Amino acid sequence: MYMEEITKLICITCPKGCTLEVQRDGDTVLKVEQGCKRGHEYARRELVDPRRMISSTVKITGGEHPLLPVYTADAFPKPRIPDLMTALRKLGVKAPIRMNQVVLADALGTGINILASRDMPKLSR
Amino acid sequence: MDSYDVIIIGGGVVGCMTARTLSRYTLRVLLIDQEADIGMGASSANSAIVHAGYDPLPGTLKAKMNVAANPLWDALAGELNFPFERRGDYVVAVGPGELARLDKLLEQGKANGVPGMHTISADEMRHREPNITPDTSGALWAPTGGICDPFAVTIAAAENALQNGVTLKLDTAFTGFIIEGKKITGIHTSHGDFGCRWVVNAAGMYADEVMHQAGVRPEFQITARRGEYAILDRAEITISNVLFPVPSNISKGILVTATLHGNTLVGPNAENLPDKEEHSVSPGGMAELWEGAKRLIPSLQPRHTIAVFAGLRASGNAACATPGVDYGHDFVIEIPREVEGLVNLGGIESPGLTAAPAIALRVVELLKDAGEKLTEKHDFQPIRPARPIFRHLTHDEQASLIRRDSRYGRVVCRCELVTEGEIMAEIHGPIPATTYDAIKRRTWLGTGRCLGGFDMPRVVDILSRELKIPPETVTKKGPGSEFLIRSTKDVEVADAH
Amino acid sequence: MPIKEKYDVVVIGSGPGGLAAAIEAKKNGAEDVLIIERDVEPGGILLQCIHSGFGLEVFGKDMPGPAYAQHFISDALTAGIELLLDTMVIDITPGRRIFACGKHGGLIDIQARALVLSMGCRERTRAQIRLPGTRPAGVYTAGTAQRWVNVEGYMPGRNFVILGSGDIGMIMARRLTLEGAKVEQVLEVMPYLTGLTRNYVQCLMDFGIPLHLSHTVNRIIGNKRVEAIESIQVDERWQPVPGTAQVVPCDTLLLSVGLIPENELSRKAGVKIDPITAGPWVDDGFETNVPGIFAAGNVVHVYDLVDWVTEAGYAAGRSAAQFALREREKERRHIPMIAGLNVRYIVPQAIDKENLKEGDIRLQLRVTQPLEKLVWIEISDGENSITRKRAPYARPGEIITLTIPQRAYDQVAKAGQLRVDVTKR
């Protein structure tokens, strides 16, 4: 016999925020009730390898503002987010920057790039 | 030790008006205030009314000073270039029972020498103020009442005083008198000692503590009486009149008045407080305000509020000196006998703003009576030059102003249309504005619907640039009230978590 | 590029609503389109909304706010839309005359054939929720804090309490925590979350930030800077429950208590405002009650998704372009009548040349000086005569009637203006 647990999880994939009921045995997901296909994928991952899309800023020189908004190209491993923030805090880039330019490749060895969220042209003055 | 002829303690409207009036004469005058800016006490948190003078009891100094000062306001506004309008005011009776008290007020006004007053019918009141309560039974009309911008009055007087040679020291707190025998020869302050022949005590909330240091009127106490106010959005309701309720024994009541910015002001209530520094607005106080205000204008909605604030009245306990007049909260305006060299002003609450010009003149009279030879300056400049107010100009005038100085083209406060040019003029003005609130008092920036939401980051940026200080040191109202803590990417602090 | 005196479509605000309206207006035949933006760069509020969640419907992809804006900004520039930055519109008239000023351009005075209002929203303030207490530094609306943290590069505090569980409040809770601040708690006066549940998970739960429903701030404590707030539980009528007051030490209170459409300018132009939305009354073409003035985006009502703002912007832009083209057509058809030699005035002052196709057009005029001689009364296009008639005299006290004949259509149609002269024969 195995031990079944039912964990309730709020799905964050889309704005609906469905409450998923996850039947699991330890780390193994047996079944997911409620939600859609993307939600079920989220549920499976969330229990063993929770990830989040993260947005932040990095310092930039030569542009209109001192900060450039950036974002993770893919959902980033949740436990490593504090280290990511530290890495981003230490980073500095120079204008001009184009949207989706890679500002930090393979962040913390995760294979996930950090991309610029916008253009930031070089200021002429 | 620097020496002056006269030192004025307190840069509120009374102190500044007195400084301005004294600056006509060849006297060396020093004006000190313990705060970082002038007018930070009651002078910037009141109803902004220039009272007609029917409310104070006949025979009191309050009545005399009010009625003497009222006619002076037009000339003063012209010379000092501050906003003032003689709109007249109404005391509105609600229900037939209050009509008798209107007649009594009318008599009182006549006894005080207030010109032009008469009662009007309920129909006429409804005609003059369409929003007035349908239960109005009539009103008292006093054409000599007016409204002003009280901080503008205070700073205009101070700037003109400076123009005419008065020295101003802010952040300078009076700590004691220097008395030789029975004569005051100077004062101690938080920034050193200063010599003088006369001290004018215009210390507002702290006037009692100042006079006690000279052994004067030990029984005189000032109690902080808080009055709370709300400002309503001019887009939601338009009141163009000054409306008082029939007064009670303790206060003029909660009025509803137009302001010179087109908004509606409601307040004040009255509550004695133990703490002279308690400036907060109370939950219960707001409820009181609405009850009182809706009695006069039922269509007022609390959700139209765009700002709330509280002012502290310096309420004194001096008995009226006129024989036969039973009143326990009169102005103190005197040269006391206990010590030489003190002009003592105390308990200047309503109608203090109105009375300020007359109180200043009375100070001059008292000095003359005491033997001071006052020689008028031949080069006294009565006019304080006005600075451009962008939103008051026509589009042609605005275009012309921007051509002269392009900084007037950058609008920083959207709601009140205050431009960078005006902000710069105040940062580099005769009494420089070095904090957000100081700029706000001078320009009305940040007082509109968004309450600074749009302009705050821009003003912090401008102050940082102009004062050449890091943005983290820009304050709302002096050290300890910085807006920003650090830059977002400050590595050390962030990683300390 | 120098600013023209007249534009087909002028758009106020370069946020998602304004950008979409401008782009769609261009696509639908508007020749000159100008966007006036008060900030130094286009994008509106999206520039500071650096989090993802934008574009799922319009682009099929979830992207951060600045990226969403970037797509439209690039499209707008490619389409030849003019962008006037760092310029604040200070007045608009019902006749669509616009006054705006900026440090670099001075005061500009331009005419729009069609005007699109997209000024977005402002945030509800502490005064509007009548929050009692002192007024120290450290009380900010969430949007102002967001501007500082994400754009200008400053943290406005160390320890935060956030009032309001709307999305902006929750998103700022996460943002501040990621940048090293401590968010003590989030208070919500309603008994339920007012923002998206997904944000509750990824902004509050993920960071262990407590949410207290049916709670609000009873008063603010602190003289120069916030030192604490007093939180209190409320009942279903928002009345404080006695005995539940708690002092929460913090140095910043962030208010996320609602957005209000920003319609000061709209009012100046006589646009009717719906008291419930606080935005202009609009029809399905997003035209307001004032002909030729349209509105798009959060200025109309607060949208849930920026994608819907874009849709609304497209609709408004399309309608605005159509209106502008009709105006152009009217102008093309209108020919001014110029009072020439010895003519004091002519009525009508302008004619619609297409009406000449249907029949003659009658003019009436008066002369300035009497001529007791034979006179010619002549209509010309300035060079060529169109028609003329004889009269025995011309007197100021007697109206002279003149007709532009239908057969003159071809000549008149080519004329920029017509003039009438009264001369001696």
Strand partners of residue B344: B201, B334
From chain A, the residues in CB contact with C65 under 8 A are 117
Q: Do the beta carbons of residue B163 and residue B80 sit within 8 Å?
A: no
State the alpha helices, DSSP H only, in C148-223: 167-178, 197-199
Mark out chain B residues that contact chain A at CB-CB < 8 A: 487-489, 491, 494-495
- Interface contact B277, partner C, CB < 8 A: yes
Bridge-based pairing state of the strands B242-245 and B255-258: antiparallel
Residue type, C349: Q
B390-473 classified as CATH 1.10.287: no
Interface of A with B in 51-70 (CB under 8 A): 57-59, 66-67
How far apart CA A20 and CA C94 sit, in angstroms, is: 54
pLDDT at A64 over 80: yes
* Buried-exposed string B234-251: b where 16+ CB fall within 10 A, e elsewhere: bebbebebbbbbbeeeeb
Confidence of residue B233 (pLDDT cuts 50, 70, 90): confident
Confidence of residue C300 (pLDDT cuts 50, 70, 90): very high
* Element at A81 (helix H, strand E): helix A81-90
Strand partners of residue C378: C388, C421
Instruction: From B153, B175, B202, B171, select the one nearest B29 (Cα to Cα).
Output: B202
**Chains interfacing with B (3 or more CB pairs < 8 Å):** A, C
Mutate to test the interface with B, among C124, C144, C176 (most CBs of B within 10 A): C144
**Chains interfacing with C (3 or more CB pairs < 8 Å):** A, B
Extents of the domains making up chain B: 3-43+151-222+317-369, 85-146+223-315, 390-473
Class for the domain spanning C6-122+260-331: alpha beta
Strand partners of residue C115: C10, C293
Residue with tokens 């009695």: B295
How far apart CA C91 and CA B279 sit, in angstroms, is: 37
Q: Cβ separation of B472 and C154 shorter than 8 Å?
A: yes
The pLDDT of residue A1: 46
What's the token pair of residue C225? 């800077």
CA B155 to chain C, closest CA, distance in angstroms equals 22
CA atoms within 13 A on the CB side of C49: 23
CA angle, B22 then B27 then B31, to 5°: 60
Cα C344–chain centre separation: 42
Q: Do the beta carbons of residue B186 and residue B195 sit within 8 Å?
A: yes
Q: Cβ separation of A67 and B489 shorter than 8 Å?
A: yes
Cβ neighbours, 10 Å, residue B3: 14
Cβ neighbours, 10 Å, residue C284: 7
What's the token pair of residue B242? 């000054």
| Dihedrals phi, psi of B323, to nearest 5 degrees | -60, 140
Give the mean pLDDT of B93-110: 93
Residue with tokens 């206060």: B251
How far apart CA C288 and CA C282 sit, in angstroms, is: 4
Q: Cβ separation of B481 and C143 shorter than 8 Å?
A: no
What's the token pair of residue A80? 């490593």
**Chains interfacing with A (3 or more CB pairs < 8 Å):** B, C
Angle (deg, nearest 10), helices B61-69 and B352-369? 100
**What residues does CATH 3.50.50.60 cover in chain C?**
6-122+260-331, 125-257
How far apart CA B28 and CA B6 sit, in angstroms, is: 6
Instruction: From C291, C286, C260, C288, select the one nearest C273 (Cα to Cα).
Output: C288
**What residues does CATH 2.60.40 cover in chain C?**
338-424
How far apart CA B223 and CA A115 sit, in angstroms, is: 62
Q: Which of C152, C196, C198 sits opposite A65 (nearest CB)?
A: C152
CA C147 to chain B, closest CA, distance in angstroms equals 8
Which ipTM value was assigned to this complex? 0.91
Angle (deg, nearest 10), helices B455-467 and B436-443? 110
Architecture of domain B3-43+151-222+317-369: 3-Layer(bba) Sandwich (3.50)
Give the mean pLDDT of A91-119: 96
Q: Scanning every residue of chain A, which has its alpha carbon at the shortest distance from the alpha carbon of B490?
A: A89
Mutate to test the interface with C, among B40, B263, B414, B441 (most CBs of C within 10 A): B414
Q: Cβ separation of A118 and C197 shorter than 8 Å?
A: no
Q: Do the beta carbons of residue C285 and residue C300 sit within 8 Å?
A: no
pLDDT at B262 over 90: no
From chain A, the residues in CB contact with B491 under 8 A are 89-90
Cβ neighbours, 10 Å, residue B63: 29
Domain C125-257 homologous superfamily, CATH = FAD/NAD(P)-binding domain (3.50.50.60)
Q: Scanning every residue of chain B, which has its alpha carbon at the shortest distance from the alpha carbon of C150?
A: B488
3-state secondary structure of C92: strand
Query: pLDDT digits over A5-57, tens only?
Result: 788 888 888 778 888 888 877 777 777 777 788 888 888 888 889 999 999 99
Query: pLDDT digits over C118-141, tens only?
Result: 999 999 888 777 787 788 999 999
Confidence of residue B205 (pLDDT cuts 50, 70, 90): very high
For the domain with range C338-424, which CATH number is right: 2.20.25, 2.30.33, 2.60.40, 3.30.70? Answer: 2.60.40
Instruction: From C155, C158, C130, C169, select the one nearest C255 (Cα to Cα).
Output: C169
Q: Which of C41, C196, C201 sits opposite A64 (nearest CB)?
A: C41
- Pick the more confident residue, C360 or C103: C360
Query: pLDDT digits over C302-335, tens only?
Result: 998 999 999 999 999 999 999 999 999 999 999 9
For B479, counting Cβ atoms within 10 Å of its Cβ (0-12 exposed, 13-18 middle, 19+ buried), the class is exposed
CA dist list (Å): B396 to B399, C107, C110: 5, 9, 14
Instruction: From B92, B109, B110, select the one nearest B246 (Cα to Cα).
Output: B92
For A26, counting Cβ atoms within 10 Å of its Cβ (0-12 exposed, 13-18 middle, 19+ buried), the class is exposed
Query: pLDDT digits over B290-343, tens only?
Result: 989 999 999 998 888 888 888 999 999 999 999 999 999 999 999 999 999 999
- Interface contact C107, partner B, CB < 8 A: yes
The pLDDT of residue A36: 85
The size of the B-C interface in CB pairs under 8 A is 163
Give chain C's mean pLDDT: 95
Bridge-based pairing state of the strands B136-142 and B49-50: unpaired
Q: Do the beta carbons of residue B332 and residue C155 sit within 8 Å?
A: no
Confidence of residue A4 (pLDDT cuts 50, 70, 90): low
pLDDT at C379 over 80: yes
Q: Which of C103, C122, C140 sits opposite B409 (nearest CB)?
A: C103
Phi-psi domain of B449 (left: phi exceeds 0; alpha: psi -120 through 50; beta: other): alpha
Enter the pTM of the model: 0.90
Report CA dihedral (C209, C215, C219, C224) to the nearest 10 degrees.
10
Q: Which of A57, A58, A89 sits opposite B491 (nearest CB)?
A: A89
Query: pLDDT digits over C380-414, tens only?
Result: 998 999 999 999 999 999 999 999 999 999 999 99
How far apart CA C317 and CA B217 sit, in angstroms, is: 75
How far apart CA A17 and CA C170 sit, in angstroms, is: 15
Q: Do the beta carbons of residue A33 and residue A40 sit within 8 Å?
A: no
Report CA dihedral (C247, C249, C254, C257) to the nearest 10 degrees.
-10
Q: Is B51 a catalytic residue?
A: yes
For the domain with range B85-146+223-315, which CATH number is right: 3.30.9.10, 3.40.50.1970, 3.40.50.720, 3.10.450.50? Answer: 3.30.9.10
